[in-house]
Amino acid sequence: MPSTNQTNLTELAEPSLDHQSPHQHFKIFKPYGFLSQFVPESRKKKHLLGELFNFPDKTMAIGRLDHDSEGLLLLTTDGMMSYKVRDKGIEKEYYVQVDGVITATAMSQLQNGVEIGINGTKYLTLPCKSFKLDGEPQLPARGRKIRDPKHGPTSWISITLCEGKNRQIRKMTAAVGFPTLRLVRVRIGDINIDSLIAGDVVTLANFDAALNR
């Protein structure tokens, strides 16, 4: 199970600039296989965020990453800050490994919007920023093998959204014929994943960077 010891946390922690604030804020690299929550679901034994660090009471995740998605997740004890960061004006960037050599046509479709299903209803995604990455990005190993290379080539792309429907990116890439194999969020606003590895927790003074427009 991914974990970060107290020594590493001290090295990663950024000093607080606001000693008067009663709230605390964090950024973490959510590992594969973890739920973006602290309260377990009934009869489901899944890893929870509380296993990564001794977070203060009333800490909440801002938004979510699915069980099988990884990367940057912001946490806070301030409900109002959670509301602000989830605003549709805040960009979220993802690195996505897809099955096959993605085509220019598929990339154009992703950029212009594709039709996906949301709760049984057809939905046209908003135009977004998307481009093909030159090779595999420098990310920590997932811990679980994606698939055997003999099954064919894969591609890495960047997708930046200002919306977040349920499993949206996975549905988008599947809609253009290139199913998602791995999904890692690398940026929220101007807050980046940097060199974090799975399970790392960093304390932040505030989320001002994420609110830059």
3-state secondary structure of 204: strand
Q: Which of 18, 66, 68, 208 is catalytic?
A: 66
Q: Is the pLDDT of residue 7 over 60?
A: no
Please tell me whether residues 52 and 24 are part of one structural domain: yes
Q: What is the mean pLDDT of residues 176-197?
A: 96
Please tell me whether residues 105 and 124 are part of one structural domain: yes
Rounded to the nearest angstrom, the gap between the alpha carbon of residue 57 and the centroid of all alpha carbons in its chain is 23
Token pair 């977070």 is found at 55
> pLDDT class for 191, splitting at 50, 70, 90?
very high
Report the distance separating Cα 15 and Cα 198, nearest Å: 22
> pLDDT class for 180, splitting at 50, 70, 90?
very high
> pLDDT class for 83, splitting at 50, 70, 90?
confident
Kind plus residue range of the DSSP H or E element containing 107: helix 104-112
> pLDDT class for 213, splitting at 50, 70, 90?
low
Q: Is the pLDDT of residue 128 over 80?
A: yes
Q: Is the pLDDT of residue 199 over 70?
A: yes
CATH number at residue 40: 3.30.70.580
Q: What percent of the chain is predicted at pLDDT more than 70?
A: 88
Residue 59 lies in a domain: yes
Q: What is the pLDDT of residue 86?
A: 82
Q: Is the pLDDT of residue 63 over 50?
A: yes
Q: In sequence order, what are the beta bridge partners of 117?
A: 122
Q: Is the pLDDT of residue 18 over 90?
A: no
Please tell me whether residues 96 and 178 are part of one structural domain: yes
> pLDDT class for 9, splitting at 50, 70, 90?
very low
pTM score above 0.85: yes
Residue 1 lies in a domain: no
Residues of the domain holding 65: 6-87+190-211
Report the distance separating Cα 110 and Cα 178, nearest Å: 11
Q: Is the pLDDT of residue 155 over 90?
A: yes
Q: Is the pLDDT of residue 111 over 50?
A: yes
Residue 23 lies in a domain: yes
- Whether 66 is catalytic: yes
Q: What is the pLDDT of residue 20?
A: 53
